[in-house]
Amino acid sequence: MTVVRFAPSPTGFLHIGSARTALLNWLYARHTGGKFLLRIEDTDQARSDKKFLEEILEDMKWMGLDWDAEPVYQSSRFDVYRETAKSLLRQGKAYTEGDAIIFKVEKGREIEVNDIIHGKIVFNTDEIKDQVMIKSDGSPAYNYCCVVDDAYLKITHIIRGDDHISNTPKQILLYEALGVELPKFAHMPLMMGSDGAKLSKRHGAVAVEEYKKEGFLPEALTNYLLLLGWSPGEDREIISMEEAVKLFELEKMRDVQSRFDAQKLRWMNGEYIMKKNTKELLPLIKKQLLTEGIDFSEKKDEYIEKLIDMYKIRIKTLKEFVELTDQFFVDEYVMDEKGKRKYLDKEPNKQNISLFADRLERLDEFSHENIESLCRTLAEENNFKPADIIHPTRMAISGKTRGAGLFEMMELLGKEKVIERLRKTATG
Ligand code: GLU
């Protein structure tokens, strides 16, 4: 049975590169009907923080990456590391230096790794220094405890980033010394920034948490990460996790570095938002409104649902929904300066608005059809284009130059609010 693991260090947030590693391990486990385990690499107790661990686990759950057993914590296995190191010491495979225990690397050997993604890679042990197993402070070194634990967990495939390739021959030597069977290795080419340099904050958001806050859907993020280096074929870009579980093959991963393309991720997120029905989006939108500090307690679900129907084709993230619709929840919305100058700070637009308000006042049924025909009649009667009312009105009632259809917006806002805002703008 396939057994894979994800081994985060809880010394920081979950980076999208690590999230991709977790995702591909999970997919491989699910595809093969194997197990996906979690190992928490918290040997650096000064830098490890429970808060980071909680966030990493939360983010994984959010992405739908469930694990198959209680996580194993390295901090609880120091005795095992020490005992195992001592046995290598007794066998003459290691030596001490002060309180540290060091593994002797046999020189003049070639170590061959048949990497699933890269193919054959050969290392010479002349280039590898003796390896610290137990540091003088009693804590284990990464390459050493990683092997002890991967052997203990009976990991069959180690799927991780290319940045660990140089660790692999060191780890292989340790497997041999411990007399345990070697797992298979698959090193994934790293995900780079748009300029080809290592993906970092400089390129924009790198923490899963940030994407969550911006209102990306987990389905979109996993779909996007999945396609970096792997493809289901036929140029398909939208693929659900269920389908990916069926189709994913580690052997088909490309041996090329991919670039993180934030625009493409946004596009994909927009596709997923559009595909969701209004009822599914409602709780997500409410959560986003809360995150942005918008009070919607006075609004009925029906009202928010209408807004979702009007806006879901216009947004790429849930945060954009809030940015575009705040005027439906609060009266103190920001006026777009450029739009204001263009549409409101000149006559006859203010007069038009005032005229429009007068006529709307007399409208009995405040439906978008009625508002629209009134707007057209008014324009005709006064010899101006409907756009001369539409643009200034949109600015006045929303503070924005873009949004949903104006007449639907007006209907939803309601007669009283619309007239109040038009009058305020006309006289302001
Ligand atoms: N904690 C290591 C990392 O985050 C794990 C490396 C491995 O998968 O062996 O990079």
Going from the Cα of 165 to the center of ligand 1, the distance in angstroms, rounded, reads: 11
Q: Is the CB of 9 under 6 A from ligand 1?
A: yes
* 294-300: long-range pairs with CB below 8 Å, 24+: 294/322, 294/326, 294/329, 294/330, 295/329, 295/330, 296/329, 299/329
Going from the Cα of 241 to the center of ligand 1, the distance in angstroms, rounded, reads: 24
Residue nearest ligand 1's atom 5 by CA: 7
Give domain status of residue 373, yes or no: yes
Give domain status of residue 394, yes or no: yes
Q: Is the CB of 7 under 6 A from ligand 1?
A: yes
pLDDT for the residue 172: 98
pLDDT for the residue 410: 98
Q: What is the CATH number of the domain that holds 344?
A: 1.10.10.350
Q: Can you tell me the distance from the alpha carbon of 191 to that of 23, in angstroms, rounded to the nearest whole number?
A: 14
Tokens (6 digits) for 314: 């216009």
Give domain status of residue 65, yes or no: no
Domains identified in the chain, total number: 1
pLDDT for the residue 57: 98
Q: Is the CB of 164 under 6 A from ligand 1?
A: yes
| Position in ligand 1 atom list of the atom nearest CA 9 | 1
Q: Can you tell me the distance from the alpha carbon of 22 to that of 160, in angstroms, rounded to the nearest whole number?
A: 9
pLDDT for the residue 264: 95
pLDDT for the residue 359: 96
Question: 37, 29 in Cβ contact below 8 A?
Answer: no
Catalytic residues: 201
Q: Can you tell me the distance from the alpha carbon of 428 to that of 422, in angstroms, rounded to the nearest whole number?
A: 10
Rounded to 5 degrees, φ, ψ at 158 are -105, 110
Name the amino acid, one letter, at 350: K
Give domain status of residue 378, yes or no: yes
Going from the Cα of 312 to the center of ligand 1, the distance in angstroms, rounded, reads: 39
Whole-prediction pTM = 0.93
pLDDT for the residue 203: 86
Domain hosting 422: range is 337-427
| Position in ligand 1 atom list of the atom nearest CA 6 | 8
Q: Is the CB of 38 under 6 A from ligand 1?
A: no
- pLDDT tens for each residue of 371-413: 999 999 999 999 989 999 999 999 999 999 999 999 999 999 9
Give domain status of residue 380, yes or no: yes
Give domain status of residue 382, yes or no: yes
Residues of the chain with pLDDT below 50 are: none
User: Which residues in 110-164 belong to E strands, given as ranges?
Assistant: 110-115, 119-124, 131-134, 157-161
| Position in ligand 1 atom list of the atom nearest CA 146 | 9
Give domain status of residue 414, yes or no: yes
Give domain status of residue 390, yes or no: yes
